[in-house]
Structure 1
Amino acid sequence: MFQVPAVDIAPYVEDGGPAERAAVAAAIDAACREVGFIQVHGHGIAADVVAGLGAAMDAFFGLDLDDKRAYVRPAQENRGYTPPKSESLSLSLGIESATRMNDFFEAFNIGRAASEHAGSELPLEHFAENTWPEVPGFEAQVSAYFAEAGRVARTMTRIFADALGLPAGFFPALTSPSIDVLRMNNYALPDGTDVALDGDLVGMSEHTDFGIVTILWADRVRGLQVLGSDDRWHDVDPEDGALLINLGDLTARLTNERWMSTLHRVKPPVVGGTIQRRRSAAYFHDGNPEAVVAPLDTCVDADHPRLYDPVTVDEHIRAKLAGSRAGRRNSAAAREGARVLQSLR
């Protein structure tokens, strides 16, 4: 039976002892090998911070569509508002979704800005300045959650280093400064939208995440599906108070697929002939754009040949975003795309 493992990471958040941390690292290693998704408890994000994020999302996504469109930014900047049916995540894998239509979710993105790193010349495509909507409390509430999700992401990389037997400084060197983006998603269609509520309707099409690790908060509403090792799609319902953690492509490359960048999608729950609203917020911790990612020597041997050539974080992220946001097929994702096609047979 498919199950997303649950791990309490409190020993890393609250300065647990060596034995406690070793047990957590071993549990994370097993989950990353077998599933690539983890339910994390003991993360330390206060309930009121999560509630503030939800309130900010409700306030913004509750605006009229025309008002939200005022916050659309150029696709390459990966900031601001994304209207429904303007992206197709499956193109980031070099394939088209079986539905042949764009994903119906809407989103709002913020991220690390170049102005936060005075004296550094950072590519504006990855470190664009943020747009903040004129919604009372939005910036403060979202910024508070962004800081906490970033802390959890860095905690996870500390655990990853221990689980992989890497020195403590390995991930800080790979991620400083890091491309970090918070994408707030709303799965609901505006009133009057013309769409058939059939079994092929996709909120967010099949994809893998791009970077190192994703910290996902989501409503406890059906919709998220993960592709298992049996090539079948399985529903994932987050446990109360848990965050969902999943690995990105760069970690799969780094570990030579010892760890999995798991394919996932969102299929909308349809109740009483209408789409049930679902919210999520994904914090993507993607790494320093100049860093080069290649399989670790410890993950390559005669039985596990090197699967990937070296790539910079910048090159990889640009290719993925060109697929999802600019509509160009990503030709460098053959391994991930093949898994999607296998699942659709």
Structure 2
Amino acid sequence: MPGTTLPSAPHYVPPPPTKESLEWADLPIIDFSKVGTPEGRAQLAPRVRDAMRVHGFLMIVNHGWTQTQNDRMFDIADAPFSQVSEDEKKRFQTKTQETGTAEGYKMRRVWTIDNGVRDELEYYTFFGQANHPDVLQPFLPEYQQFARHNHFDVLHPILRLLALGMELPEETFVDIHDFNDAAVKYARFLKYYPRTEEDEAKSKNVWLKGHTDIGTITILWSQPISALQVMSPDGKWRWVRHINNALVVNVGDALEMLTGGFYKATIHRVVQPPRDQRGSTRLGAFYFAMCNDDVRLVPFTASPVLQRVGVVRKIDDEDAPTMSEWRKGRSKAYGMTELKRKDDVVEEQVINGVVVKHYN
């Protein structure tokens, strides 16, 4: 934040990228330096359209933040975990299972992963709440800046490109993604902690089962510990490679429903890191975008593309949930309800009348 003295934060030093030989996903890399002009967007729109239909994931470079700003963001992203006492964390513990809103801390070992193994994931979510731990108060302007950059400089251009890919007016999806300057929403910082070898064996090294995200677009700030895997079009799990100061972007359930299946929510999971990175904690910075709470998740059938290729619905339009209903239903159920096994890979549950799949 130019012209101001930033509050002090311990420098977060991640381990170096893995040197292991892994099977990497071949994700398209989109240069965002071109999104500022109609000509640039027209050039990028077909690439983004195809990336989100074929892979569901893409990577973005030249998004407007420097590596120095990125480093600073991870320094303050670590503060909710390394600078806040366990007692204070419990004071700000989320009540997601009661309210469906994931503000504050999700503590470790809340969710069941597999065979009785509990998760080792802790996160802090900014969702417009008025109160935060004292240690985080000095960083609130920077958290706000982080949220604004994700929303206006990354999310909005992506939404414009995706609308162009469906031959809709550029602002179609932007218009249903408002931002409240008074409250940071959907920004989340998380940390995975190492597990015992016994738990790794019981859960087949899976830290978070294969799943799709709740909202419209997920923006992940790339970090060097390899653990994220995406299900490729051929059904194989492949690793997502780290690129300095890049963003990893994917489609969520809400956008799949809004686009009548044209853009499909991406199946991804988190697994134990490769051998040369084990034993380290894995810090993540995310922006989980969702459309406005009152938006009903029905397809934009005015799209000429949908009229040509057809609409695929998860649920009849008259029964479709709003964004608020979908967010709360999925958030309350995640990791807490019993899944019905369909085969050796897929488990299912029904949320708001929609079948939700998990991949183990």
Write the deviation string for residues 267-298 of structure 1: whole angstroms up to 9, x where unpaired. 12164795322111110110111111212323
Q: Partners of 2:260 and 2:291 in 1: how far apart? A: 17
Partner of 2:279 in structure 1?
275
Partner of 1:306 in structure 2?
312
Task: Please say if residues 177 and 288 of structure 1, whose CA atoms lie closer than 8 Å, have aligned partners that are also in contact.
Answer: no
Write the deviation string for residues 287-339 of structure 1: whole angstroms up to 9, x where unpaired. 111111212323545864532323211121111111226547641386551xx
Partner of 1:24 in structure 2?
44
Q: Partners of 2:189 and 2:81 in 1: how far apart? A: 10
| Alpha-carbon distance change, 289 to 28 in structure 1, aligned in 2, over 3 angstroms | same
| Alpha-carbon distance change, 23 to 130 in structure 1, aligned in 2, over 3 angstroms | farther
Matches within 5 A, 1:135-150: 135=136, 137-150=138-151
Partner secondary structure for residue 72 of structure 2: helix
Task: Please say if residues 221 and 237 of structure 1, whose CA atoms lie closer than 8 Å, have aligned partners that are also in contact.
Answer: no
Say whether residues 1:70 and 2:76 are aligned partners: no
Task: Please say if residues 197 and 274 of structure 1, whose CA atoms lie closer than 8 Å, have aligned partners that are also in contact.
Answer: no
Out of 172, 175, 185, the position equivalent to 1:173 is 175
Aligned-pair RMSD on alpha carbons?
2.9
| TM-score when normalising by structure 1 | 0.80
Q: Return the letter of the residue paired with 1:153.
A: L
Q: How many residues align?
A: 312
1:217: Cα distance to partner? 0.8
1:246: Cα distance to partner? 0.6
Q: Partners of 1:110 and 1:328 in 2: how far apart? A: 28
Task: Please say if residues 93 and 105 of structure 2, whose CA atoms lie closer than 8 Å, have aligned partners that are also in contact.
Answer: yes
Q: Partners of 1:173 and 1:284 in 2: how far apart? A: 17
Write the deviation string for residues 88-128 of structure 1: whole angstroms up to 9, x where unpaired. 5xxxxxxxx545433221101003x3xxxxxxxxxxxxxx4
Q: Partners of 1:288 and 1:146 in 2: how far apart? A: 16
Partner of 1:331 in structure 2?
350
Partner of 2:199 in structure 1?
196
Q: Partners of 1:272 and 1:306 in 2: how far apart? A: 43
Out of 39, 57, 61, the position equivalent to 1:37 is 57
Task: Please say if residues 73 and 79 of structure 1, whose CA atoms lie closer than 8 Å, have aligned partners that are also in contact.
Answer: yes
Q: Partners of 1:19 and 1:3 in 2: how far apart? A: 26
Say whether residues 1:225 and 2:245 are aligned partners: no
Write the deviation string for residues 140-166 of structure 1: whole angstroms up to 9, x where unpaired. 332221221122112211222222211
Partner of 2:79 in structure 1?
59
Task: Please say if residues 103 and 205 of structure 1, whose CA atoms lie closer than 8 Å, have aligned partners that are also in contact.
Answer: no
Task: Please say if residues 25 and 230 of structure 2, whose CA atoms lie closer than 8 Å, have aligned partners that are also in contact.
Answer: no
Partner of 2:325 in structure 1?
315
1:137: Cα distance to partner? 4.0
Q: Partners of 2:354 and 2:67 in 1: how far apart? A: 40
1:70: Cα distance to partner? 3.2
Say whether residues 1:186 and 2:191 are aligned partners: yes
Residue ranges of structure 1 left out of the alignment (5+ in a row)? 89-96, 114-127
| TM-score when normalising by structure 2 | 0.77
Q: Partners of 2:175 and 2:276 in 1: how far apart? A: 51
State the percentage of identical aligned residues: 22
Q: Partners of 2:222 and 2:47 in 1: how far apart? A: 23
Partner secondary structure for residue 167 of structure 1: coil
Q: Return the letter of the residue paired with 2:135.
A: E
Partner secondary structure for residue 206 of structure 2: coil
| Alpha-carbon distance change, 164 to 30 in structure 1, aligned in 2, over 3 angstroms | same
